[in-house]
Amino acid sequence: MKASVGDAVRSSGPERLSITTLKGVGPKLSERLRRLGLHTVEDVLLHLPLRYQDRSCITSIDRLRVGEEAQIEAVVIGSEITGRGRRFLLCRLEDGTGLLTLRFFHFSPAQQQWLCQAGARLRCFGEVRSGYVGGLEMIHPECHRIESDAPPVDDRLTPIYPATAGLQQFTLRRLAEQALECLESTALLPEWLPPALLTQLRLPAFAEAVRLLHQPPVDTSVAELESGRHPARQRLVFEELLAHQLSLRRLRERTRRQVAPPLIGGHLSRRFLERLPFTLTCAQQRVLEEITADLVQPRPMLRLLQGDVGSGKTVVAAASVLRAVETGAQAALMAPTELLAEQHYRNFHDWLGELGLEVAWLSGRLTGKARRIVLERLAAGEIQVAVGTHALFQESVLFAELALVVVDEQHRFGVHQRLALREKGRNEGRCPHQLIMTATPIPRTLAMSAYADLDTSIIDELPPGRRPIKTVAVPDHRRDTIIERIRQACRRGRQAYWVCPLIEESEALQCQAATVTAERLSEILPELRIGLVHGRLSATAKEMVMAAFKMGALDLLVATTVIEVGVDVPNASLMIIENPERLGLAQLHQLRGRVGRGSIESSCVLLYRPPLSQLAHARLAVLRECQDGFEIARRDLELRGPGEVLGTRQTGAQSLRVADLLRDQDWLPIVRHTADRLLREHPNCVEPLIHRWIGAGARYGQV
């Protein structure tokens, strides 16, 4: 077997070797492995253990302790199948120092046969528990028969791999052992980093690090291995972060080699800014200058605009859009939800309409003749600006000359969706400029790694007159007090929000449903005009409720988190958020930002259900203490990790196999420096590194 696998590797050269080359991998097992993302032998080698067990010694039964994992070697003295209803197999062992029972709830006839043979010697590893009827037991331990010529105990730590239904640890270890045999062929895991670099960083060779992580000697520090701090693990961490950095650099280079229409001018932007009833903040002016400097270049802008809730990103986007319009071209703004897209449409329609420009609205609910007319006029260039949802990048939508694409809350779109809209602007070899906005501040640590292909602008200043929002956390049993507070606020002519995480009752989550809450509040506060909005309402119904609230026809709006972005009602000064412990800090900060949008003193009440976990206490404390979205994002990163702060893999966020952006952030400056060095001195190493860690995923930059 060893020779055949090695020969297959050698004959295939640098190409990836299918996992079916490994012995015992047929269609059924192959399908299960695919669920773990394992398609090749190389994938198996990079499928690293989650933790390790020390099976280097045998513990006598009389020295076993409840709650500890241990390995014993003993003889079967009896067995039986018992239990009422749910039957289980009991197997009794003794080793001369004591008795131990093995319990199996799931077992086959074959397992029963070899486990229950009296006199058979078994070696078992598992957690020791108090027995069902006294004594000690192990439930579903790993067992194998020991013959007279059995090998000694392991001289290596035993790996425990991430698994899936139908895949046992024994199978994964067997496949990893076969895959490690392939390392004798350098074609499988070649070393792509220069030896001088490895020496400088004191990192082991790639193949050496992989072998140690799968088969660490028994004296290796388990704490270092499982924390990710072991040099072998850090070797892979460094290379993976480097591969992602190189991939984004390649995307950036590819973008900069493209041609874009220079958007030279500015008279429309100046007229727009002069007509505003307020003056831009210094931060807005600085950011607009950075964007303008990009737009006049003959290469496409690719810029990330970060700004806290209420910092004025939309005004900056509108001024940027006008740079495209005054050259005779078109611009498009895409938002992830109809609510947010509609808010942008209304702002753009009001602002740009005064300048004699036409703004079109395009979403999934625009159908029939109305849709056909909009599409025809967009294709003819008669409409200068289009605002909408993901409907903008559907195949039927064509632009005459799309020069600028603005994408709001970009982390909610997949990379392919974002680039698909850009592709609609390709015209005679030119592609549009792109401005990406987010009100979810991204900590610098993440931005350096996840958005290395983008230039970054930050609006780090709120408009004058905005007051801090007083935030308090209140237990659920004080609900009556909070309701009375709403009554008093509305009597003074103010408006309020009541946010519920769910639409329907859920006993499992113990959350108040928006529909039920609206009914109860209507009974308790009959003098108030109460509206309800959630994601399952039709777009028209949502529109009507939101319009009524904005016009002051409603006093209290009960809503789900659909109001997280895109709602601007300056008269709303009080927000109640139920079950805040179930939402992320960034989302809570976004919701809180729906109040405090005028000069009125505003408050946010976090109505939690006790008892709170230690983590929930810490998260709510951050929100009470801090108004700065960037600081909140940094603390959110510490508490929850990068996956939740950036979004999920399905929405376009970076997916890492080995590295952890929070734990491994100290590598990022070195990674950026190394990326520069490889691109300059070892360009032939770049593509293989990207292929090893990202594979087909790297193709997103070629859309």
Q: 135 and 195 share a domain? A: no
Find the mean pLDDT for residues 579-601.
Answer: 83
Secondary structure of residue 303 in the 3-state scheme: strand
Q: Which pLDDT score, from 0 to 100, does residue 231 have?
A: 96
Specify the pLDDT at position 100.
95
| CATH number, domain containing residue 507 | 3.40.50.300
Q: Is the model's pLDDT at 426 over the cut of 50?
A: yes
User: Which among 459, 482, 501 is the end of a domain?
Assistant: 459
Residues 429 and 324 in one domain: yes
Of 153, 173, 195, the residue that ends a domain is 153
> Is pLDDT above 80 for 680?
yes
> Which of 477-481, 590-594, 612-616 tops mean pLDDT?
477-481
- Residue 272's pLDDT is 94
Contacts of 283 (CB under 8 A, 6+ apart): 311, 458, 459, 460, 461
> What is the rounded distance in angstroms from the CA atom of residue 280 to the CA atom of residue 297?
24
Say how far apart CA 384 and CA 8 lie, in whole Å. 59
Q: Is the pLDDT of residue 702 over 80?
A: no
Number of structural domains found in the chain: 4
Lowest model confidence (mean pLDDT) among 59-63, 180-184, 415-419, 609-613: 415-419
Structural domain span for residue 172: 2-52+162-227
Please tell me the predicted confidence (pLDDT) of residue 697: 47
Shared domain for 291 and 429, answered yes or no, is yes
Q: What is the mean pLDDT of residues 664-675?
A: 89
Are 383 and 360 contacting, i.e. CB atoms less than 8 angstroms apart?
Answer: yes
pLDDT band at 288 (very low <50, low <70, confident <90, very high): very high
Among the ranges given (225-234, 243-252, 383-392, 479-488), the one the predictor scored with the smallest mean pLDDT = 243-252
DSSP for residue 565: S
Question: Domain check: are 48 and 61 in the same one?
Answer: no
16 plus 61 within the same structural domain = no
Best CA proximity match to 624, nearest among 632, 634, 612 = 632
Domain boundary among 459, 478, 496: 459
In the numeric block, the tokens 């045999």 are attached to 181
Q: Is the pLDDT of residue 414 over 80?
A: no
Q: Is residue 690 part of a domain?
A: no
| 506 secondary structure, DSSP code | B
Residue 22 to residues 1, 172, 549, 557, Cα–Cα distance (Å): 9, 12, 64, 61
pLDDT at 489 over 80: yes
Burial of 444 (0-12, 13-18, 19+ CB in 10 A): middle
Q: What is the pLDDT of residue 185?
A: 66
* Residue 402 located in a structural domain: yes
**Residues 455 and 380 placed together within one structural domain of the fold:** yes
329 pLDDT more than 90: yes
Mean pLDDT of 100-108: 89
Residue 203 and residue 232 in contact, taking contact as beta carbons nearer than 8 Å: no
User: For the chain, how many helices (H) and strands (E)?
Assistant: 25, 22
In a domain, 643, yes or no: no
Task: Look at residue 650 in the predicted model and tell me its pLDDT.
Answer: 33
pLDDT of 15 over the 70 cut? no
- Average pLDDT over the chain, rounded to an integer: 84
Residues 31 and 180 in one domain: yes
State the average pLDDT over residues 696-700: 43
pLDDT band at 296 (very low <50, low <70, confident <90, very high): very high
Q: 298 lies in a domain?
A: yes
What phi, psi does 260 have (nearest 5°)? -130, 155
What is the percentage of the chain residues whose pLDDT exceeds 90? Answer: 47
Measured distance CA(376)–CA(399) in Å, rounded: 9
428 and 529 part of one domain: no
d(CA 180, CA 188): 10
Alpha-carbon span 389 to 338, nearest angstrom: 6
pLDDT at 645 (0 to 100) = 44
The answer to whether residue 204 scores a pLDDT higher than 90 is yes
Over residues 118-128, mean pLDDT: 92
- Shared domain for 520 and 455, answered yes or no, is no
Shared-domain flag, residues 94 and 210: no
Of 512, 330, 511, nearest to 427 by C-alpha is: 330
Convert the pLDDT of each residue in 614-637 to its tens digit.
Answer: 888 888 998 888 888 777 877 776
- Is residue 413's pLDDT more than 70? no
**Is 673 part of any domain?**
no
